[in-house]
Amino acid sequence: MEVKGKVVQLLPLVTGQGKNGTWKKQEFILETQAQFPKKVCVSLWGDKAELYQLEIGSVVTASIEVESREYNSRWYTDVRAWKIAKDDETPPPPAPQDYPPVEEDKATDDLPF
């Protein structure tokens, strides 16, 4: 699944020690570009937390996985990005068109008025 939007907030990098070693998590808030914008908290785990240099205001497309889990009879949902693609905010200018030159002949005016 993909979600496209503008990065509106970067949360602090979180690190910790688990049974499998050190872990890292970078969360950021993405605001969608729909008619009614929504904000989504997306997380990057492990090496991806430092791989993508996100900046506030940049427009990105995040390839995500959504997963929910239960803990003490409550459900928690995690939105994890596995790939981030930065979008160019300014589209490239259109290529110039090569049109043949227009010849104007003012001597032959075929207009009826």
Ordered domains of the chain (ranges, CATH): 2-86 (2.40.50.140)
Closest CA to 49 of 16, 85, 75, 24: 24
> pLDDT tens for residues 4-28?
999 999 999 999 988 888 999 999 9
Q: What is the pTM of this model?
A: 0.70
Contacts of 13 (CB under 8 A, 6+ apart): 24, 25, 26, 49, 50
